[in-house]
């Protein structure tokens, strides 16, 4: 893992745009999780091969949602300003980013490295 410094923050200034974007993120997240659950129900009483194929689809859905701007993988919120972590290739909310930064500064000495937490600096 190499640190990639490509900082992007999505923060809506207009109240109506923000409300629309957050509602859209919530709807997409709920639709994905509904499909994820539906596929889980389909796994019951399936052969091992069918079960694994469905599980792979569920994993793809979950990973895609987790990496999207729709929801923060740190807190699962859909109504936050978002920050793109190019190293992890994942969007996090700005609140979680600050918590990861604070944790890194508090927990790691100058000699210790943790690339995941360092990628938020
Ligand atoms: Zn968060």
**Domain membership flag for residue 1:** no
Domain-embedded: residue 2? no
Please check whether residue 103 lies inside any domain of the structure. yes
Number of separate domains in the chain:
1
Centroid of ligand 1 to alpha carbon of 5 (angstroms): 20
Question: How many angstroms does the Cα of residue 37 sit away from the middle of ligand 1?
Answer: 23
Q: How far is the CA of 93 from the centre of ligand 1 (A)?
A: 4
- Mean pLDDT, residues 91-108 taken together: 91
| Span from the CA of 89 to the centroid of ligand 1 (angstroms) | 15
| 65 in a structural domain | yes
Domain carrying residue 75: 8-118
**pTM over cut 0.85:** no
For residue 110, the tally of other CB atoms under 10 A from its CB is: 5
The beta-strand segments (E) located in the chain are: 8-10, 82-85, 90-93
pLDDT digits (tens, 9 = 90+) for 33-55: 999 999 999 999 999 999 999 99
For residue 103, count other CB atoms closer than 10 A to its CB.
13
| Residue 3 maps to a domain | no
Q: How confident is the model at residue 6 (pLDDT cuts 50, 70, 90)?
A: confident
Distance 28 CA to ligand 1 centre (A): 17
């Amino acid at each position: 893992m190499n640190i990639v410094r490509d900082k992007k923050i999505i923060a809506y200034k207009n109240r109506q745009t923000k409300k629309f974007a957050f509602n859209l993120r919530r709807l997409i997240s709920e639709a994905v999780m509904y499909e994820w659950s539906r596929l889980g129900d389909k796994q019951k009483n399936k052969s091992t091969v069918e079960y694994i194929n469905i599980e792979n689809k569920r994993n793809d859905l979950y990973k895609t949602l987790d990496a999207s701007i729709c929801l923060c993988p740190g807190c699962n919120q859909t109504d936050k300003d978002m920050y793109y972590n190019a190293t992890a290739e994942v969007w996090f909310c700005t609140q979680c980013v600050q918590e990861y930064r604070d944790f890194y500064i508090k927990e790691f000495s100058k000699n210790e490295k943790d690339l995941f937490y360092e990628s938020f600096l």
